[in-house]
Amino acid sequence: MEFRRLGRSDVRIAPLVLGCNVFGWNVDEPTSQRILDAFVDAGFNAIDTSDSYSRWVPGHAGGESETIIGNWLEASGKRDKIVLATKVGEDMGEGRSLRKDYILRECEASLRRLKTDRIDLYQTHFDDEVTPVAETMEAYAALIKVGKVRVIGASNVAPQRLKASLEASKTLGLPRYETLQPLYNLSDRNEFESGYAALCRQENISVIPYYGLAAGFLSGKYRAPADADRNPARASRLKKYLDGRGTLILKALDDVAARHKALPAQVALAWLIGRVTAPIASATSLAQLDEITKAPRIKLTADDLAGLDRVSAS
């Protein structure tokens, strides 16, 4: 399996990242730990979470996913087999913040929950757009200096703020964002391709997109509003894809999947794998995990790619 470098760092990941946002939300701890074991045993090494997962669930305070992962790391002894990615900046009760004191404090909380001494990839989850970018980068530099963080990345940061952050790092001689975690998939293309892609290529920033399956739409399981209603947690998000363009995308995925004796979700992820460093995909069961981990084996042809590109173009 090809392992891909994160930006200019020495950290390498397999071409698929396990999204752990579902842990502690709609996946219980025993199942989460089985999924983590199976993912690593299948040869993959990168898992992605956040301090805020799953604060949106009534009664949750955030940190539930990190806590489950930390318990697994302690019990399994597999810390050295994974690239551990988490995030900071989302509202944990004080509003969104990227102040230096806030980042330093929240990093310590994440380390405690994760039961580890280091975070391999620490990412800005959401930009507060108030804190000077230099202050944020100085916070990350302090964490890298003492070995608590290896590499830093950004997620929901506007293109101009991402560029300003890179410039501040260069000017001040500080570590820079080596990764970007944007919304990007076969259905959601325009924002990344028009706003970020050129900068990422120019600066050699690795791309690790979230919603690789468009909240499950690209799995092909949701083809009508009634299908989406069966998943209340994602119904509103799924329904935005259920239009004429979405129908064409699913038809193209069905056709390519049939040729490769694969599933639509596997084809959608294979399309992404050919364009980015590694997409993020979640699994709520071992069966789902088995499906998504087969995606890197699919070799799409030029005709496959042309057809998928054509129907998904904005």
250 vs 268: CA distance, rounded Å: 10
For residue 20, how many C-alpha atoms fall within 13 Å in the half-sphere facing its CB?
Answer: 33
Q: What are phi and psi of 40, to 5 degrees?
A: -70, -40
SS3 297: helix
In sequence order, the β-bridge partners of residue 5 are: 12
Q: Tell me: cis bond preceding 155? Omega within 30 of 0 counts.
A: no
Q: Using DSSP bridges, classify how beta strands 280-282 and 17-19 pair: parallel, antiparallel or unpaired.
A: parallel
254 vs 264: CA distance, rounded Å: 6
Catalytic residues: 53
Which residues, 6 or more positions from 243, have their beta carbon under 8 angstroms from its beta carbon?
Answer: none
Strand order in the sheet with 177-180: 206-207, 177-180, 149-156, 119-126, 83-88, 46-48, 17-19, 280-282
186 vs 308: CA distance, rounded Å: 8
Cβ 220 vs Cβ 258: under 8 Å: no
34 vs 26: CA distance, rounded Å: 14
